[in-house]
Amino acid sequence: MPDTVHRVAVCSASALPLGEVATVTPPGHTAISVFHTEEGLFAIDDTCTHQDASLADGWVENCAVECPLHESCFDLRTGAPSGTPAKTPVRTYAVHVVDGAVVLDLPGS
Ligand code: FES
């Protein structure tokens, strides 16, 4: 049975211009980073699945973010790592812009 999804507004779209990233912590949730790339908006868990690094501090290129600590790259669309040392995908979240707000689909009740 799929998770229940609820939509949570996390920031205004104007606060997240192209090329920027915002890290938000919705109530009851871990930190999520929202990246505004030329391909659109993407939201992933902020913490690398290898160790405790913030992916918001990483380098973004070609719809992927490179972890600042050991340089694994994660696809912003799928969360999949493209190489070691990270082996586990980061969780991704659907992103919408609704009435000028950046809104995430989050699991939960
Ligand atoms: S902490 Fe991200 S690759 Fe090691």
Domains and CATH numbers, the chain: 4-108 (2.102.10.10)
Model pTM?
A: 0.94
Q: How confident is the model at residue 108 (pLDDT cuts 50, 70, 90)?
A: confident
- Could you report the per-residue pLDDT of 59-71, keeping only the tens digit for each? 999 999 999 999 9
Asked if residue 86 has its Cβ within 6 Å of ligand 1, the reply is yes
Q: What number does the ligand 1 atom closest to the CA of 49 have?
A: 2
Neighbours of 34 (CB within 10 A): 23
User: Per-residue pLDDT averaged across 86-92, rounded?
Assistant: 98
| Cα-to-centroid distance, 13 and ligand 1 (Å) | 29
- Could you report the per-residue pLDDT of 9-58, keeping only the tens digit for each? 999 999 999 999 999 999 989 999 999 999 999 999 999 999 999 999 99
Asked if residue 50 has its Cβ within 6 Å of ligand 1, the reply is yes
DSSP strands (E only) in 1-107: 5-12, 21-24, 32-37, 40-45, 59-61, 64-66, 73-75, 92-93, 95-98, 101-107
Query: In this structure, which residue's CA is closest to atom 3 in ligand 1?
Result: 70
Query: In this structure, which residue's CA is closest to atom 1 in ligand 1?
Result: 51
